[in-house]
């Protein structure tokens, strides 16, 4: 049986019995992955992510290869293999003054950049101008750079979930997971929010998170972000849940990066850091009988190893 076929069989078995039961937990288990996005974005983001893993409740993160602070976080990943470390595949750059572009350069992937050679700020522009071929080339180059640096990633996910900007990008994303023998993060809510129909682009054997949770701007604006996290942990549903955070410090670096960007700005990221490094958070997880799971656990259980 070839590797890809074995992978599909394993995932079909997974969906037939439920993720919790397949991983050895009760079928009524509350499984949670507390995931930190945007590692590599900045020094502030990196240090807060490291501390959230080492002394907090965060148990997964992913690294943005095109960003200026990639090396620092990649070194941490190599030195700390006990923590999940994914590749945060990047095709967009939403910031006003902090700009970056493809690692392949403008000449190699001209359809992925604006007039200044940076990734587009909006997924709509990526959808309109990017070619399938150049998306694949750039994303594969990001993975190869991480592997060449020495990283051993546990999964693939996507910055701003830009891989769902078009159905053909979703197929590239899935195919890269197959090529590199890595789980890829799928969620129906995210796909539908991008304007696609999840039922049309997902396969029956895709490994799909049951629930995705993300703080809202309304909660942040009203000073209720911590309360949202508390209520979430106290009422976490049964199934495979993923909570996405962006831990960083409210310092000059992050204030400059997130300028004029209300979502996930520096104060928000500081709140994420403080809540998920608190003792109160650890107590909530324990008292609510929440089982923290990782992509590495899923990968070892369900991804083919007979290559």
241-264 pLDDT tens trace: 999 999 999 999 999 999 999 899
Structure confidence at residue 196 as a pLDDT band (50, 70, 90): very high
Structure confidence at residue 303 as a pLDDT band (50, 70, 90): low
pLDDT at residue number 91:
98
Category of 160 on φ-ψ map: left (φ > 0), alpha (ψ -120 to 50) or beta: left
pLDDT at residue number 128:
97
pLDDT digits (tens, 9 = 90+) for 211-252: 999 999 999 999 999 999 999 999 999 999 999 999 999 999
Q: Answer yes or no: is 307 within a domain.
A: no
Residue span of the structural domain in which 8 resides: 3-302
Q: Answer yes or no: is 169 within a domain.
A: yes
Note if the pTM is more than 0.75: yes
The terminus-to-terminus CA distance of the chain in angstroms comes to 10
* Predicted confidence (pLDDT) at residue 270 exceeds the cutoff of 80: yes
Angle between helices 225-234 and 279-287 (to 10 degrees): 20
Q: What does the block give as tokens for 7?
A: 């992978």
CATH code of the domain covering residue 287:
3.20.20.370
Mean pLDDT of 15-41: 84
Detail the DSSP E strand segments found in 58-128.
Answer: 60-63, 86-89
pLDDT digits (tens, 9 = 90+) for 51-81: 999 999 999 999 999 999 999 999 999 999 9
Residue pair 241/31 in contact (Cβ under 8 Å)? The answer is yes
pLDDT at residue number 68:
96
b/e map 66-91, b = 16+ CB within 10 Å? bbebbebbbebbeeeeebbbbbbbbb
Q: Read out DSSP for 174-236? A: HHHHHHHT--B-B-HHHHHHTTS-HHHH--TTS-B-SEEE---HHHHHTT-HHHHHHHHHHTP
Q: Which residues pair with 158 in a beta bridge?
A: 89
pLDDT digits (tens, 9 = 90+) for 110-163: 999 999 999 999 999 999 999 999 999 999 999 999 999 999 999 999 999 999
Cα(45)–Cα(273) distance, integer angstroms: 10
Q: Answer yes or no: is 166 within a domain.
A: yes
pLDDT at residue number 20:
77
* Predicted confidence (pLDDT) at residue 17 exceeds the cutoff of 70: no
Residue pair 192/167 in contact (Cβ under 8 Å)? The answer is no
Name the 3-class secondary structure at 82.
coil
Tell me how far CA of residue 37 lies from CA of 18, 63, 113, 249, 301, in angstroms: 26, 7, 22, 14, 24
Number of domains in the chain: 1
């Amino acid at each position: 049986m070839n590797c890809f076929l074995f992978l599909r069989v394993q995932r079909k078995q997974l969906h037939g019995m439920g993720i919790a039961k397949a991983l050895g937990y009760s079928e009524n288990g509350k499984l949670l992955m507390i995931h930190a996005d945007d590692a590599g974005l900045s020094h502030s983001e990196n240090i807060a992510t490291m501390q959230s893993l080492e002394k907090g409740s965060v148990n997964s993160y992913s690294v943005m290869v095109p960003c200026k602070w990639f090396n620092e976080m990649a070194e941490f990943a190599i030195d700390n293999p006990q923590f999940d470390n994914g590749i945060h595949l990047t095709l967009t750059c939403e910031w006003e003054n902090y700009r970056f572009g493809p690692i392949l350069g403008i000449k190699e992937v001209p359809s992925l950049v604006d007039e200044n050679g940076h990734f587009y700020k909006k997924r709509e522009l990526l959808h309109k101008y990017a070619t399938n071929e150049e998306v694949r080339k750039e994303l594969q180059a990001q993975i190869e750079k991480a592997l060449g640096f020495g990283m051993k990633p546990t999964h693939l996910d996507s910055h701003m979930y830009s891989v769902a900007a078009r159905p053909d990008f979703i197929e590239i994303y899935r195919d890269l997971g197959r090529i590199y023998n890595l789980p890829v993060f799928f969620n129906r809510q995210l796909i539908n929010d991008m304007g696609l129909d999840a039922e049309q682009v997902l396969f029956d054997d895709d490994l799909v998170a049951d629930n995705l949770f993300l703080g809202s701007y309304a909660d942040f604006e009203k000073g209720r972000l911590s309360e949202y996290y508390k209520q979430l942990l106290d009422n976490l549903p049964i199934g495979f849940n993923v909570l996405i955070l962006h831990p960083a410090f409210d310092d000059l670096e992050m204030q400059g990066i997130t300028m004029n960007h209300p979502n996930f700005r520096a104060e928000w990221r500081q709140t994420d850091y403080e809540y998920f490094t608190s003792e109160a958070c650890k107590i909530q997880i324990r008292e609510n009988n929440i089982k923290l799971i990782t992509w590495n656990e899923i990968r070892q259980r369900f991804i083919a190893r007979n290559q």
